[in-house]
Structure 1
Amino acid sequence: MNSSPVALPPLAEKLAAPRLDNALVWLMALTCGLVVANIYYNQPLLAAIGRTFHIPDSRASLVATATQVGYTLGMLLVVPLGDMLERKRLMLLMLVGAAGCLGLAAGAPSFGVLAVASVLVGICSAVPQLLLPMAAHLAPEESRGRIVGRIMSGLLIGILLSRTASGYVGAHFGWRVVFEGAAALMMLLIGLLAWRLPTDRPNFTGTYGSLMRSLLTLVREQPALRRSALVGAAVFAAFSVFWTSLVFYLESPTYHYGSDVAGFFGLVGAFGALAAPLAGKTADARGPRYAITAGIVLALGAYLVLGLGGGYLAGLVVGVLLLDVGVQSAHISNQTLVFSLVPEARSRLNTIYMTGYFTGGSLGSVAGGLAWTHFGWTGVCLVGAAFVALGLLVHRYYGRSGNQR
């Protein structure tokens, strides 16, 4: 690739890197959880947002889509700068922006303003995708999967518990209070990271234009990266189909529950996030391909349970657990593989993979809303299962000729 940095010898690179101790790993996990929660607070609130602005469920679900689109744009346009600019300063600036945009969402006078604020929140909340390459850079190679898995457990618990917190707060205090509280959390996090996060020198010496062009070079030269991005997109689409539709299903005549119960399912799913470090260890020990396959099979089984037993609360709980464990196992194993491809380009590798991942999530949010509106819960489960099946086909057959990783 053009403008590639001069690589340090392995020993010199290890000596130059800051020490990655347990406290720092847990701070990174906490940061990932709190920041990524900004993307998901709105999902249990969609019905309440629709009532506030007098719009149908299908239109209200576009708030979730707008936030994920923004997150995808942040990963595509901002995260590559982690290979070029000092990561700590870049992350602090993004968190300041996230706090301001969450405040704008809290006070939104119209649905249009809320939608624009949601896109901006998504862009500024791409911080975890800068932290993960930093952790992969600092971690010893033999334990990279375990450390990435531990940090991902924080991110995944943040995704899931954000729904629990926002569902409860939204039901009792209103959806605007959720965004106000999220803005306050970002300000507290800025102080913590400014105090504890190490500086991390950039690896790339070219211009922003050459940095962005190098993304295309990586896509062209790394078939394993293309495959991981496509598999991640399909699996996360299946994940988003379920979570975007769940609040509407729970408020339907089948259950007659509110947003607080929808949030409770985030708490159920958080138990599945405990599988994240185990998935990382499995990827270290048996290879990412095995762990990805196992995760996809679990996600497919989840939709079978949800389709056949989703009309019963126990069926929903079991389905949520299987879906979260499966999606997380596939995702962490994919990232472990991706971070091993070109060490000096980890932010850009993560950009490509996660752009695919959240593009799939955005498509899943749209597909979930449409499936619910036109075909109900059966349609939701069929669409979700179709995305998982697509991921399995890509994982098994795309670009598998010749020497394989």
Structure 2
Amino acid sequence: MLLIGVSVSLTFGRRLLLATICAVAVATIYVAQPVAAQIGRDLGVPEAGLGLIVAVGQAGYLIGLVFLVPLGDLLDRRMLIAGHLLVAAAGMVVAAAASRLGLLLVGLAVAGLFAVVVQTTVAFAADLAAPTDRGRTIGVVTSGVIIGILGARVVAGSLAALWGWRSIYAALAALLVVLTLFVVKLLPADRRRVHATYGEVLASLGHLLRERLFLSRGLIAFFLFASFGTLWSGLALPLAAEPWHLGTAQIGLFGIAGLAGALGAARAGRWADAGRAERVTRGALLLLAASWLATGQATWSLWMVVVGVIVLDFAVQAVHVSNQHLLTAAYARRTSSVVGGYMLFYSLGSALGATVTTTVYSIAGWTGSAILGAAFALCALLMWAGGRRAVAQPTTDVLT
């Protein structure tokens, strides 16, 4: 069990710093996607092995969610965040200097493992915020995650074109070091009395799976991000095909539309603070399903795709913020473990959507992928409907 220390003022500057940490840290995982082919040519990696360059960071991230994020319920999170950033920076240095595939994979795995600083940051932000301002704070900070995911593709492509793929990892390493200095200088110490061991905190993750609120929100996230992964891992296929034949840079511009939609959902945090998290979740999931009616028209209308992308990313971010608001409020004494456990559902759902959409596209074209994405959205809506009573029920906020 732990006791949260005295609340401090969470200024705009601190919110901005926390959001920037999320953006840069999550970018370390996603920048490999647009430049994997260039890396492969430089290091002599066959096409069949390019998937490893992208997958190794995500694998490290999954491990970190289980074994590193719960440390936030035991240690001073200011120093934990600083330490994670420094180790992630070291991973980026190794990746930038790698002369062979094995060394590159080591660097990317280390960076991915410690990129879970994102979840420690979100949990810390939720605890620093006043209860009446928690949703707004989570909305601002998690906007950094969306900026990192979608912006990484655009920035990585530009840097690689100018100075090569190594410049991407060198720039990220420098940013991570600078952020470490800002964390130590600007964030408050996280002094708490802790009466649990690391083993007890890890065991509490299993206990969470028996909590109806946590499980229902986790399953919503699973299907929510399966729908998200279906779009962003599959959209390039119809856009590069007849009749558009768009290039990588042109396809990357659709990320700007997604970014606009996601940032527009930052207000979802304010709505959650006002007690409307459930209504926001229901409305956003309906929007998510409806967005596929527009995005599914990719074979004949790019404008419909833009509309669909904006609506989908707005809906996903609105639900994501509402979920985390509910969970961090319900489990206020172990926010790190709760956020880490919740993000496991997020990661597994994203992986499912990304994997299945390409298979479905090869069989049924983009129409099939759109139906798949809409089906995932409807499954999330069903999970929400089935778990509504869990929000009103008391939770057991203890470590076992």
Report the TM-score when normalising by structure 2.
0.89
Map 1:60-75 to 2 at 5 A: 60-61=50-51, 63-75=53-65
Aligned twin of 1:190: 180
Please point out which of 69, 76, 88 is paired with 1:86.
76
Deviates more, 1:375-384 or 1:143-152: 375-384
AA of the residue aligned to 2:216: R
Encode CA deviations 1:262-281: one digit per residue, 9 max, x unaligned: 33222222211222321111
Q: Name the SS of the counterpart of 2:194 in structure 1.
A: coil
Aligned twin of 1:304: 293
How much has 1:304 moved relative to structure 2? Answer: 1.9
Q: Distance in 2 between matches of 1:198 and 1:149?
A: 20
2:120 maps to 1:130: yes
Alpha-carbon spacing, 1:112–1:360, altered in 2? closer, same or farther (3 Å): farther
Aligned twin of 2:398: none
Encode CA deviations 1:45-87: one digit per residue, 9 max, x unaligned: 345456665645x864554443333222212110110010111
Please point out which of 297, 308, 311 is paired with 1:319.
308
How much has 1:324 moved relative to structure 2? Answer: 0.7
| Aligned-pair Cα RMSD in Å | 2.6
Map 1:144-163 to 2 at 5 A: 144-163=134-153
Alpha-carbon spacing, 1:403–1:180, altered in 2? closer, same or farther (3 Å): closer
Q: Distance in 2 between matches of 1:129 and 1:402?
A: 22
2:362 maps to 1:370: no
Q: Distance in 2 between matches of 1:302 and 1:310?
A: 15
2:255 maps to 1:232: no
Q: Name the SS of the counterpart of 1:308 in structure 2.
A: coil
Alpha-carbon spacing, 1:118–1:389, altered in 2? closer, same or farther (3 Å): farther
Structure 1 unaligned runs (5+)? none
2:247 maps to 1:277: no
2:360 maps to 1:360: no
Map 1:253-264 to 2 at 5 A: 253-264=242-253
* Alignment size in residue pairs: 393
How much has 1:306 moved relative to structure 2? Answer: 1.3
Q: Distance in 2 between matches of 1:88 and 1:78?
A: 14
2:273 maps to 1:288: no
How much has 1:145 moved relative to structure 2? Answer: 0.8
Aligned twin of 2:397: none
AA of the residue aligned to 1:354: M
Aligned twin of 1:383: 372
Alpha-carbon spacing, 1:202–1:387, altered in 2? closer, same or farther (3 Å): farther
2:56 maps to 1:33: no
Encode CA deviations 1:149-170: one digit per residue, 9 max, x unaligned: 1212222222222222123333
Q: Distance in 1 between matches of 2:236 and 2:386?
A: 35
Aligned twin of 1:170: 160
Equivalent pair of 1:64/1:365 in contact (CA under 8 Å): no
Please point out which of 319, 322, 327 is paired with 1:330.
319
Structure 2 unaligned runs (5+)? 395-400
Q: Distance in 2 between matches of 1:117 and 1:383?
A: 35
Q: Name the SS of the counterpart of 1:261 in structure 2.
A: helix
Alpha-carbon spacing, 1:373–1:111, altered in 2? closer, same or farther (3 Å): farther
How much has 1:336 moved relative to structure 2? Answer: 0.5
How much has 1:93 moved relative to structure 2? Answer: 1.5
Aligned twin of 2:194: 204
Encode CA deviations 1:168-196: one digit per residue, 9 max, x unaligned: 33344443332222222212222222221
Equivalent pair of 1:305/1:318 in contact (CA under 8 Å): yes
Q: Distance in 1 between matches of 2:261 and 2:21?
A: 19
Equivalent pair of 1:167/1:261 in contact (CA under 8 Å): no
Encode CA deviations 1:232-284: one digit per residue, 9 max, x unaligned: 11111221222223344444454333332233222222211222321111222
Please point out which of 78, 96, 107 is paired with 2:86.
96
